[in-house]
Amino acid sequence: MITSKDNDIYKQLCKLFSKKGRDKSGLYVLEGAKFVNDASEMGITAEMVVLTQSNADKIYRTKKTVIMDKRLIDRLSDTVSPQGVIGVYRKNSYQAEEFVCMNRILCLDGVQNSENVGALIRCAVCAGYEGVLLINACADYYSPKAVRACVGSIMKIKILNTDIQMLTRLKSEGFKVIGADVNGSETACLDYTKQVLIIGSEANGISIEAEKLCDELVRIPIYGKCESLNAAVAGGILMYKSVGY
Residue 181 has a pLDDT of 93
Q: Is the pLDDT of residue 125 over 90?
A: yes
- The pTM assigned to this predicted structure is 0.93
Average pLDDT for 2-17: 93
Q: Considering Cα of 220, then 224, then 226, then 230, what sign does the dihedral take?
A: negative
pLDDT higher than 90, residue 132:
yes
* Full set of structural domains in the chain with CATH: 8-90 (3.30.1330.30), 97-242 (3.40.1280.10)
- What does the alpha-carbon distance between residue 139 and residue 78 come to, in Å, rounded to a whole number? 17
pLDDT band at 94 (very low <50, low <70, confident <90, very high): very high
Tell me the per-residue pLDDT of 22-38, one tens digit each, with 9 for 90 and over: 999 999 999 989 999 99
Share the mean pLDDT of the chain. Answer: 93
The kind and range of the H/E element at 200 are strand 195-200
- What pLDDT sits at residue 202? 84
The pLDDT value recorded for residue 97 is 95
Task: Give the residue-averaged pLDDT of 172-177.
Answer: 96
Q: Convert the pLDDT of each residue in 211-225 to its tens digit.
A: 999 999 999 999 998
DSSP, residue by residue, 30-51: EESHHHHHHHHHTTPPBSEEEE
